[in-house]
Amino acid sequence: MVAVPLTAATIGIILPKARPLFQKLQGRVDRVNAIIQENLIGIRVVKSFNRQSYEERRFKERNDDLKNTALSAISLVISVMPMLNLIVYSTIIAVLWFGGRQVSAGTMGSGELISFITYITQVLMSLLMMSFFFMNLLRGSASAGRILEVLSTESEIKEAETPVKELKDGSVTFEHVCFSYPGSPEKTLKDINFHIKSGETIGIIGSTGSSKTTLVQLIPRLYDVTEGSVKVGGVDVREYDVKALRDQVAFVLQKNTLFSGTIRENMQWGKEDASDEEIIKVLKQAQAWEFVSKYEDGLDHWVEQGGDNFSGGQKQRLTIARALLKSPKILILDDSTSAVDMTTDARIQQVFKTDLKDITTIIIAQRISSIQQADKIIVMHEGKIESMGDHETLMVKSPIYREIYQSQLKGVAV
């Protein structure tokens, strides 16, 4: 009767103190994991900049931080053990003391005393087990809290109540679109207006940081506009079923990812049940078949994690092929041929003009030659459209375009 409340009180006092420590500990574990991951991914950069000792120091700092937090959390928890042991053994001594006196007075048999001790030990051991259980539960609940944080993050992109499933065509309209990234006070896009007819090829050019990527991200609704509206096929993108919209708008990102697996598996990301003929067709369109066909194992050729066994230009062509396999209505290429040589680039442009002329193609490029043939070119400058028109018009109308053209022409002449 005395021992049980004492045990409960000990646990009850210490565990609430340990809880915040365990939460902190979990945060420290995350920080160490993050730096390990960052260093493994960027291992070549670290080596080429000779930053090993700097990175080791950074790792040591965070790791020491983890060690210290772990030590304070765990030493608090293990201090429970001697206290509980003290309670257990004091109880046994007390039983022996009072029981022993009763045995010598003849009011209790020695067998009864032994069984009493056995019982009380069992009760106390169960209490110890319970306290172990609570301690583990505590650690577990701190981890569960972190997992729930991730799981309960809600997407800011809300589904429409009666979503539209089908894109009527590949036309794109921006009406007075303004956009700021969440948490940023600045307007990254300012009053953007334009209309693209279905099937047109559009080029977007402008210096880095002029919000080209930001602009096209609004089309597959990776972000929602802050003001104005983006319409695809005449319907506001917010009215579409998000999955249907993204299925029909293929986006080849600036930084592309291939996954470890065969070339075939990587292509089938675009369309799960694609046959070899279909895959070869898009590989040819993206000018990737010329190198894939040279592998003995062809489509079974292995792709390393991140596509590390391919050159930059080869990776770009594979990712363009993957996007084409989706047979999208709109295809967005964000600087996707930057690492492809000029001749191959020109061949890809030609395919867009002929084979794929029904697809609305939006090409962001640094090289004028990649977009010169486009029906319309948008020149971006500091989040605004500086001017818009075909190559000849812009040569007359846009000083920025002329400047880019002349600087690249010089490069070619030399």
Ligand X SMILES: Nc1ncnc2c1ncn2[C@@H]1O[C@H](COP(=O)(O)OP(=O)(O)O)[C@@H](O)[C@H]1O
Say if CB 199 and CB 206 are below 8 A apart: no
Site mask, Mg ion, residues 251-280, x = CB under 5 A? ------------------------------
Alpha helices (H) in 325-363, listed in sequence order: 342-353
Residue 337 interacts with Mg ion (CB under 5 A): yes or no = no
What are 378's two structure tokens? 């948008």
Longest dimension (CA), the chain: 119
* Total residues at interface with ligand X (CB under 6 A): 11
List beta partners, residue 332: 251, 362
Say if CB 363 and CB 370 are below 8 A apart: yes
Say if CB 237 and CB 218 are below 8 A apart: yes
**Binding test (CB under 6 A) with ligand X, winner from 69, 198, 201, 210:** 210
CA–CA gap between residue 200 and residue 217 (Å, rounded)? 18
CA–CA gap between residue 170 and residue 167 (Å, rounded)? 7
Residue 212 interacts with ligand X (CB under 6 A): yes or no = yes
Residue 332 interacts with ligand X (CB under 6 A): yes or no = no
Minimum CB separation of residue 38 from ligand X in Å reads 18
133: partner contacted, choices ligand X, Mg ion, none (Cβ within 5-8 A by kind):
none
Minimum CB separation of residue 70 from ligand X in Å reads 34
Minimum CB separation of residue 204 from ligand X in Å reads 8
- Binding piece for Mg ion, criterion CB under 5 A, among 78-86, 113-121, 149-157, 207-215: 207-215
- 112-125 burial: b if 16+ Cβ within 10 Å, else e: ebeeeeeebeeebe
CA–CA gap between residue 145 and residue 143 (Å, rounded)? 5
Residue 255 interacts with ligand X (CB under 6 A): yes or no = no
C-beta closer to Mg ion: residue 207 or 406: 207
When computed from its CA atoms, the radius of gyration of the chain, rounded to whole angstroms, is: 33
Minimum CB separation of residue 212 from Mg ion in Å reads 5
317: partner contacted, choices ligand X, Mg ion, none (Cβ within 5-8 A by kind):
none
**Binding test (CB under 6 A) with ligand X, winner from 69, 188, 201, 248:** 188
188: partner contacted, choices ligand X, Mg ion, none (Cβ within 5-8 A by kind):
ligand X
DSSP code, position 137:
H
CA–CA gap between residue 394 and residue 406 (Å, rounded)? 13
Residue 209 interacts with ligand X (CB under 6 A): yes or no = yes
Strand segments (E) across 255-310: 261-262, 302-303
C-beta closer to ligand X: residue 258 or 380: 380
* Residues contacting residue 18 through CB under 8 Å, at least 6 positions apart: 73, 76, 77, 135, 138
**Binding test (CB under 6 A) with ligand X, winner from 118, 155, 184, 354:** 184
Minimum CB separation of residue 350 from Mg ion in Å reads 24
Site mask, Mg ion, residues 209-228, x = CB under 5 A? ----x---------------
Residues between 347 and 386 with contacts to Mg ion, criterion CB under 5 A: none
Contact residues for Mg ion (CB under 5 A)?
Answer: 213
Contact residues for ligand X (CB under 6 A)?
Answer: 181, 184, 188, 206, 208-214
